[in-house]
Amino acid sequence: MNPSRLKVLITGANGFVGASLMQCFTAAGHDVVGSVRRRVPSAARHIHVGDLDEYTQWQHALVDVDVVVHAAARVHVMNARQEDANEFQRVNVDGTLNLAQQAMASGCRRFVFISSIKVNGERTHDVPFSAGDTPRPCDVYAQSKYDAECALTSALQDSDMELVIVRPPLVYGSGVKANLQQLIHAVTRGIPLPLGRAHKRRSLVGLDNLCDFIRVCATHPNAANNVFLVSDGYDVSSRDLVALIASALSTTPRVFSLPYAVLKLGARCLKQEARVSKLFDALQVNIDKNKQLLSWTPPYTVQQQIHTMVHGTASEERAL
């Protein structure tokens, strides 16, 4: 396997992370093909594979592939119910294991699995998460990612295909949706936000930093059969994040303070407790392993990536 020129299969190639991975690996000189659930018009490098489960046929997509980067998944949703567990199992566990088994059979040399920091847990207390911590998944999505990690580790332990597991925290970048998109809109419109006391820091990872790290994980010999956490290396509080977004917009952040107990009570009434916890609880990760083992440090600053996110998201929305 020539690490400077690989054939790479990226699953979920038209997703938020997958599309950027396609660009990153192509720019690095690799031969890249992407898999998608639905056919994409005029996308020569995209191969349609249909739904991701234990029956998906990957042979056509895996021809001469050296590395699989598995970014496709049933994604986390707020307040996922226990009844969703079967669907998370079908896609994130059975579908992932099926792909890995077919990749092994095709002669693929490395499988990079994009997992989630939620495998480690929901929050930290004084000590950041590290890759060697005992996993503590707290919901059905996190459990499905951990189950997939375990299934892959077991299936690949006596094979020639190497496994790399990457657990990112919240990923942000151009085109981001959900909570961050709503936060950008609120800051843009000058809406006052009750985040004056949201001072606990959280690790985030910008899309460009994440893609660069995954590229290294696909090629570096020391990455083989390792678990990595990844972040920007500079943690921010929710209050800090509002200030960074406002700076990128050349506006003034508008925040005010409310007692946390009041916010929790309001969140409970509105069934938004999980969302408030993400704004006020700490969740930090230690990326020293990445520096020591792979000589990797985040190439882009938080400020650079926030600027890209804010203006890229605004441009995409204007184009719609």
**How many Å from the N-terminal Cα to the C-terminal Cα in the chain?**
42
How far from chain centre, in Å, is Cα 237? 19
Give whole-number Cα distances, 221 to 3, 74, 110, 132, in Å: 9, 30, 10, 19
Hey, CA dihedral for 266, 246, 205, 84, is it positive or negative?
Answer: positive
Strands in 67-70's sheet, in edge-to-edge order, are: 46-48, 31-36, 7-11, 67-70, 110-114, 162-167, 226-229
SS3 content of the chain, % helix, strand, coil (to 5): 45, 15, 40
Task: Answer whether 50's CB lies under 8 Å from 56's CB.
Answer: yes
Q: Which residue is it, tokens 């959280």?
A: 202
**Both tokens assigned to 70:** 């598995």
Instruction: Verify whether residue 260 is a known catalytic residue.
Output: no
Catalytic, out of 141, 146, 234, 300? 141
Alpha helices (H) along 34-75: none
Catalytic residue numbers read 141
